[in-house]
Amino acid sequence: MKALNFKKHIYILGFLAILSFRAQTQEFELQSPDKNLKVSIALGKDINYTIFAENQVLLENNTLSMILKDEVLGENPKLKSKKTNEVNEILEPEVPLKFSKITNHYNNLLLEFKNGFSVEFRAFNDGIAYRFITKKVGKLEILKEEFKINTKPDYLLHLQQTPAFKTSYEYPYSHMNSEKLSSDSEMSTLPVLIEAENDYQILISESDLYDYPAMFLKGGNNSLSGLFPKDPLEYEDEGDRSVKILKEAEYIAKTDGNRNFPWRFFVIAEEDGDLIENTMAYKLAREKDEKNDFSWVKPGQVSWEWWNGASPYGVDFKAGFNEETYMHFIDFASDFGIPYIIMDEGWAETTTDPYKPNPDIDLFKLIKYGKEKDVEIVLWLTWLTVEKNFDLFETFKEWGIAGIKIDFMDRSDQWMVNYYERVAKEAAKNELFVDFHGSFKPAGLERAYPNVISYEGVLGMEQMGRATPNNSVYFPFIRNAVGAMDYTPGAMISMQPEVYHSQRPNSAGVGTRAYQMALFVIFESGLQMLADNPTNYYREKECTEFITSVPTTWDETISLKAKTGEYAVVAKRKDDKWFLGGMANGNEDERVFEISLDFLKDDKKYKLTSFEDGINAGRQAMDYRKVEDEVSSMESLEIKMVRNGGWTAVIETL
């Protein structure tokens, strides 16, 4: 009897403890406008949140906090007030990579706490986001930010892992179940993609990143936690394009106490193609200053000499990084309506002095010659040279340069994140656009400064044989899903991976010719490269005419067929023309899809011009076939792609 009474006593105490805990815990819910997504927030000893899709738990009991030098924001939080509101508006990007009009519809929950901070949650129809806001006097030293989400053992993670914070962001994706990702595993850059239950996919990244380091993710015990590089205090030059960090601060950021912090967001996709169509990073980014006019920014294609070694052949001059070769590139660009050429490493006498062109090149003659042919010049620079010569923006404007390609940053600590913004601001002041090469992923700067028209941060085709379709087919779902991507496509020499061999000047791409052509439609960049040399493009004129007709900005994007890591087929509209592109990995000898053309809407006939893998493309990757036909919105297309293959087309009014 005593034992039973004791057990009953323990049960009552436990029940009272649960009631006491619930009494101390405040709970809130925020639903998406269509009520399909939900985030549940619990305030107790910490700030805890769970993300649902159709009432199914996707990420449970996740926590967030910010550790300052003298306090922890989020520990035993004391709620002061809450505010909810709904926003439904149309955004019109200056550089529309997916849509010329973006619907920005969300429900918002602002939780304000007593010690000068808030946490803001947003629920969109395609995702959940949150951020910290502080209203404190003076500077904050942030030692750490806690971002911790709990996954399930069988969740499949797609990660670009790196051994250090100093990274080129050019690693292939790793693919592993959550239970296999341990604390000993290498950390990952953002974005990260999670394949969860019931075919839901969760893309994790950040936006509105400024005066703060980029986030990396570390695994362990079926969870992912944020990691951040510390702020560098002392460093010395390490060659002509890097520095060696000698001393770091204890903090990850020293920043203004009255500010908004970066958004942490989760794009939640029920269909794989939803990832391709999402615009979350843009929607959460800072707006541009209305006082600034960016109407001068002109995205477009660019001919690039570095990948092919400045090596046109069949010409009557000695090819190389010299004046005659660059004039030839300008002629080529003019012939095909390409608005820009890049003069990469070699245009200047040294990589450290941006004011002394290569003595073999009359740069000013080339600038003048280009303008006569409606072709402008973009100059390549190392970030270190830019930093040491910050007045070069004004000089380049005086010279008549259109934009700059800045390379080898390879870092994303607070100092370097601020460097990106300083460059964007100074370049905008002098009406220069910027392509950040050797960079981290887009994180919102491009909305505040639309002259930032592309970023690398990807294992691109300059990596030759490492740039395989098996890896690149993930880009529409992960890397390109957060913004512009400088992949540098356009190889006219194509090979299947088992026979691949390539070296400049005879550079080649892995995958079929139709695959290379389709990348111009599928991959998004405000400055889209043509990486091969003019001779090869002249030789393959019908392919070049198609490639150079593909826009770099779009009014509408539709995912037609998509499976993460296997294939992607998209349709994109510019004015009244539709361009279609498909790419496939190498896991199947052939894929066949039936594509409905109901997106054409009007019941009339259209002209279809398509390029498809030839009958022998599975072996000889340069084999392709051009097809012309009439189609209507009532019809469907059957498209075929061989292994590592592609398909592309344009549909226009007759």
- Report the catalytic residues: 407, 462
- Identify the helix (H) or strand (E) that includes residue 581: strand 577-584
| pLDDT digits 0-9 by tens, 291-323 | 899 999 999 999 999 999 999 999 999 999 999
User: For 15-72, what is each residue's pLDDT tens digit?
Assistant: 444 444 444 789 999 999 999 999 999 999 999 999 999 999 999 999 999 999 999 9
* pLDDT value of position 290: 86
Q: What is the pLDDT of residue 4?
A: 45
From the centroid of its chain, how far is CA 187?
A: 18
pLDDT bracket for residue 601 (50, 70, 90)? confident
In this predicted structure, what is the pLDDT of residue 5? 54
Same domain, 110 and 251: yes
Q: Which helix (H) or strand (E) holds 326?
A: helix 323-335
**Band of residue 13 on the pLDDT scale cut at 50, 70, 90:** very low
Residues 538 and 485 in one domain: yes
Q: What is the mean pLDDT of the chain?
A: 95
Domain span at 607:
579-653
Interval 58-98: pLDDT, tens? 999 999 999 999 999 999 999 999 999 999 999 999 999 99
194: CATH:
2.70.98.10
Number of domains into which the chain is organized: 3
What CATH number does the domain containing 592 carry?
2.60.40.1180
Q: What is the pLDDT of residue 326?
A: 97
Residue that terminates a domain, selected from 223, 258, 284? 284
Nearest in space to 440 (alpha carbons), one of 432, 452, 448: 452
Do 414 and 273 share a structural domain?
Answer: no
Residue 169's pLDDT band (cuts 50, 70, 90): very high
CA 608 to chain centre: 31
Please report the pLDDT score of residue 19 as a whole number.
Answer: 43
CA distance 213 to 204: 16
458: tokens are: 């990807």
pLDDT tens, residue by residue, 256-270 = 999 999 999 999 999
Task: Looking at the structure, tell me whether residues 345 and 407 fall in a common domain.
Answer: yes
Domain match, 410 and 532 both? yes
How far apart, in whole angstroms, are the C-alpha atoms of residue 402 and residue 296?
A: 10
396 and 536 fall within a common domain:
yes
Same domain, 539 and 399: yes
Q: Which of 19-28, 121-130, 342-351 has the lowest mean pLDDT?
A: 19-28
| Residue 290 forms part of a structural domain | no
Say what the pLDDT of residue 638 is.
97
CB environment 505-514: b (16+ within 10 A), e (fewer) = eebbbbbbbb
User: Is 216 in contact with 190 (CB distance < 8 Å)?
Assistant: yes
Whether residue 569 is contained in a domain is answered as no
Regarding whether 189 and 127 lie in a shared domain, the answer is yes
Cβ atoms of 606 and 630 closer than 8 Å: yes
β-pairing verdict for 340-343 and 300-304 = parallel
Residues in the chain: 654
Whether residue 618 is predicted with pLDDT greater than 90 in this model: the reply is yes
Q: Based on the fold, state whether residues 368 and 511 are members of the same structural domain.
A: yes
In the prediction, which pLDDT does 2 show? 45
Residue 603, pLDDT score: 81
pLDDT-above-70 percentage for the chain? 96
Confirm whether 526 is domain-assigned.
yes
CA–CA gap between residue 300 and residue 293 (Å, rounded): 19
363: phi then psi, degrees, rounded to nearest 5: -55, -40
- Residue 166 phi, psi dihedral angles, 5° rounding: -80, 105
Which whole-number Å values give the CA distances from 111 to 26, 81, 104, 227, 264, in the listed order? Answer: 11, 6, 21, 25, 16
pLDDT above 90 covers a percentage of the chain that reads 94
pTM, full prediction: 0.95
Q: What's the mean pLDDT in 382-393?
A: 98
Mean pLDDT of 360-380: 97
Residues 25 and 72 both lie in one domain: yes
Residue 563 placed within a domain: no
- Residue 464 belongs to some domain of the structure: yes
Listed residue (36, 41, 14) closest to 25, CA to CA: 41
Boundary-marking domain end, from 250, 284, 318 = 284
Mean pLDDT (whole number) for 399-413: 98
Query: CA 267, 270, 271, 277 torsion: positive or negative?
Result: negative
| 110, part of any domain | yes
Is position 179 within any domain? yes
Residues 145 and 269 in one domain: yes
404 and 536 share one domain: yes
- Residue after which a domain boundary falls, among 284, 315, 330: 284
The answer as to whether 71 is a domain residue is yes
pLDDT of 9 strictly over 60: no
